[in-house]
């Protein structure tokens, strides 16, 4: 299989996550697989005209603003067949960018306390989750404004603080591109979780049409 080229794009505007540090950990982790070659970037200008050399872009961003050229560059890349992987706070980013959130089909709507909870795999036959068992994590359980009819759900989690179940991972297409969103990713506790790491690697490969 041809090595997957991934751009891990990290925003720095948020104050509750170590995006730069965690992003570097993610970059090293996927590079160690031998199947993925990942670059780390905090340069917004690459979104406007620098994505052509990548099969997939992984967004681990928070808040921030996209210029019209940056948003259109990203969306055009995905429509033409590029992959998009939104992680955790990617759903809380670029809150004025309607096109971005339309592509993602997710908009941050709060989260639970930082706590232990179980992630339930609802489709263990999809390439991202094949054979993956339910797993325990310590993280924020995200709530999203999301249209469930336009994405295929892969995982969910029950929030005992609200007696509600929320989607944790889903995918769909956008033009010719594949879009995958994974709601976990607050800090090192979950980044070191083996099941989380499996989903990161498989999600990038799937978005890049290697799975």
Average pLDDT of the chain, as a whole number: 95
- Does residue 17 have a pLDDT over 90? no
The domain 4-107+168-207 having CATH identifier 3.40.50.880: the answer here is: yes
Q: Whole-prediction pTM value?
A: 0.96
- Does residue 11 have a pLDDT over 90? no
pLDDT of residue 71: 97
Closest CA to 6 of 54, 50, 60, 75: 54
pLDDT of residue 130: 97
pLDDT tens-place string over residues 68-125? 999 999 999 999 999 999 999 999 999 999 999 999 999 999 999 999 999 999 999 9
- Dihedrals φ, ψ of 204, to 5°? -65, -45
pLDDT of residue 91: 96
Name the 3-class secondary structure at 186.
coil
pLDDT of residue 2: 87
pLDDT tens-place string over residues 165-192? 999 999 999 999 999 999 999 999 999 9
Q: What residues contact residue 123 under an 8 Å CB cut-off, 6+ apart?
A: 129, 152, 153, 154
Assign 14 a pLDDT band (cuts: 50, 70, 90): low
Listed by start position, the domains of the chain span 4-107+168-207
- Does residue 18 have a pLDDT over 90? no
Contact 91, 142 (CB under 8 A): yes
Distance CA 171, CA 77 (A): 17
pLDDT of residue 25: 94
The conformation of residue 21, written as its DSSP 8-state character, comes to H
* Neighbour tally for 41: CB within 10 Å: 16
The conformation of residue 123, written as its DSSP 8-state character, comes to -
Within 13 Å of residue 132, how many CA atoms lie on the same side as its CB?
27
- Dihedrals φ, ψ of 175, to 5°? 60, -125
pLDDT of residue 62: 85
Question: Got the DSSP string for 54-109?
Answer: -SEEEEE--B----HHHHHHHHHHHHTT-EEEEEGGGGGB-TT-HHHHHHHT-EEE
């Amino acid at each position: 299989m041809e090595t997957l080229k991934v751009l891990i794009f990290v925003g720095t505007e948020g104050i509750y996550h170590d995006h730069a540090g965690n992003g570097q950990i993610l970059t090293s982790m996927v590079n160690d697989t031998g199947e993925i070659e990942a670059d780390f970037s905090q340069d917004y200008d690459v979104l406007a005209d620098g994505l052509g050399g990548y099969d997939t872009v992984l967004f681990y961003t928070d808040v921030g603003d996209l210029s019209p050229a940056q948003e259109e560059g990203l969306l055009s890349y995905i429509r033409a067949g590029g992959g998009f992987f939104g992680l955790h706070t990617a759903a809380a980013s670029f809150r004025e960018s309607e096109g971005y959130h339309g592509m993602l089909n997710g908009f941050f709507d709060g989260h639970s306390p930082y706590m232990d909870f179980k992630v339930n795999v609802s489709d263990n036959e999809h390439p991202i989750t094949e054979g993956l068992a339910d797993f325990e994590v310590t993280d924020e359980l995200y709530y999203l404004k999301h249209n469930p009819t336009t994405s295929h759900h892969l995982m969910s989690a029950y929030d005992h603080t609200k007696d509600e179940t929320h989607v944790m991972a889903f995918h769909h297409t956008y033009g010719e591109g594949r879009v995958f969103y994974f709601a976990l990713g607050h800090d090192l506790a979950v980044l070191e979780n083996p099941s989380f790491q499996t989903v990161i690697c498989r999600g990038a490969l799937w978005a890049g049409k290697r799975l």
